[in-house]
Amino acid sequence: MIFLFKAHSGLRYLVLLVGLIALAYFVFGLVTKRPVDKKVRILGSSFAGLLDTQVLLGIVLLGSGWPFQPMLWGHLSLMVLAAVVAHVLLVVNRRRAQPGFLLPLLGVGGALVLISLGILAIGRGVFSSTVTGG
């Protein structure tokens, strides 16, 4: 169970890193008015896939008997909402006749805000770790 906890806790850094890289690329594309390329889809899908893996690890961790505390309701709700926001806006952008940078920017940016709030909901700093690795 500790392995799952450490995997869940550690994966957050990769989710945040890919999210920040995607965010920077989307802002750059929007500001410079570049044409949308394949990287928008790749970065968006990479972020959404990592976020899905993170949510799944959290659910498996709870299902494996990790002690459930009331503050986890906020954490769980915000993380699932972050995944929904990212997916919906990325899919809508992908289905548009002319995909752009704005919807992916809002999707990833909104998800990053919700992720940060979800981490804070359990009393941790976004970039802090505990003695047990979380």
**130 lies in some domain:** no
Single-letter code of the amino acid located at 134: G
- Which pLDDT does position 132 carry in this prediction? 55
- Which pLDDT does position 58 carry in this prediction? 94
**131 lies in some domain:** no
Range of the domain at 109: 2-121
CA dihedral 90, 79, 115, 12 (to 10 degrees): -100
**19 lies in some domain:** yes
**134 lies in some domain:** no
Q: Buried (b) or exposed (e) across 48-87, using 16+ Cβ within 10 A?
A: bebbeebbebbeebeeeebeeeeebeebbebbebbbebbb
- Which pLDDT does position 15 carry in this prediction? 98
**16 lies in some domain:** yes
**Total number of domains constituting the chain:** 1
**132 lies in some domain:** no
Q: How far apart are the first and last CA of the chain?
A: 13
Instruction: Average pLDDT across each block of 10 residues of the chain; the chain has 134 residues. List them in order.
Output: 89 97 98 96 98 96 89 94 98 96 98 96 81 52
Q: Buried (b) or exposed (e) across 101-132, using 16+ Cβ within 10 A?
A: bebbbbbbbbbbebbbbbbebeebeeeeeeee
Query: Scanning the structure block, which residue is given the tokens 């709700």?
Result: 77
**Separation CA 29–CA 40 (nearest Å):** 9
**101 lies in some domain:** yes
**31 lies in some domain:** yes
pTM (2 decimals)? 0.90
What's the pLDDT tens digit per position in 85-94? Answer: 999 999 999 9
- The two three-digit tokens of residue 134, written as one number: 């979380």
